[in-house]
Structure 1
């Protein structure tokens, strides 16, 4: 399947990284909530958004794993604005609690992933 490696009209392909795609973007002043941020694509999304200056609120089920990811991001990017908040999307009570705590923070919600 040779066409998966070809660059499209955007200049990117399926093999482009998040860092390549966001290069030159200044996310200062933006706040993103990233669910599933304690591992995999959620953790990488959080890292790259933080790299671009976005204030990242990581919604995580496992707070210990979330803190570890947060600490790694801050170690790599000392100026990163990253918070880990408990969020279990299988529980409406957890979703309501997360939403209430996020609203209390008075941060805008610019990006939800």
Structure 2
């Protein structure tokens, strides 16, 4: 309980990070070049998902942005590309509340012949 409270108020844990750590801080020392990584990021159109996508793009990862709203995903793609123009970003349709949509997404992703290194 005490450890949870410490984490929530921003005290660094054993990893050296806290609830106040940013995605950039967490990834800074790990691997500055993620060009060999393909990441599927659900929820990348806003909030933590959007920030995760931005930081992975900064580190060079190829991004797959699945979304119910393709417009929202395209807007996110445009924002990331304006900051990191060399990023490879693939926008795909996916509604996680529909198993048919999930199956279509999986089939379409497999047809791209890309590795899947991160699923967030």
TM-score, with structure 1 as normaliser: 0.93
Residue 102 of structure 1 is matched in structure 2 by 109
Displaced runs of 4 or more, over 2 A: 1-4
Out of 59, 84, 92, the residue aligned to residue 52 of structure 1 is 59
Q: Take 1:96 and 1:14, find their aligned partners in 2: how far apart are those partners?
A: 35
- Tell me if structure 2 keeps the 8 A contact 1:36–1:61: no
Residue 8 (structure 1) shift = 1.6
Residue 84 (structure 1) shift = 1.0
SS at match of 1:85: strand
Measured on the aligned residues, the alpha-carbon RMSD in Å equals 1.4
Out of 76, 80, 87, the residue aligned to residue 69 of structure 1 is 76
Unaligned runs of 5+ in 2: none
Count of paired positions:
113
Residues 17-96 of structure 1 mapped to structure 2, 5 A cutoff: 17-24=22-29, 25=31, 26-96=33-103
TM-score, with structure 2 as normaliser: 0.88
Out of 11, 18, 26, the residue aligned to residue 16 of structure 2 is 11
Residue 81 (structure 1) shift = 1.4
Q: Take 1:103 and 1:35, find their aligned partners in 2: how far apart are those partners?
A: 17
Q: In terms of mean alpha carbon deviation, does 33-42 or 10-19 score higher?
A: 33-42
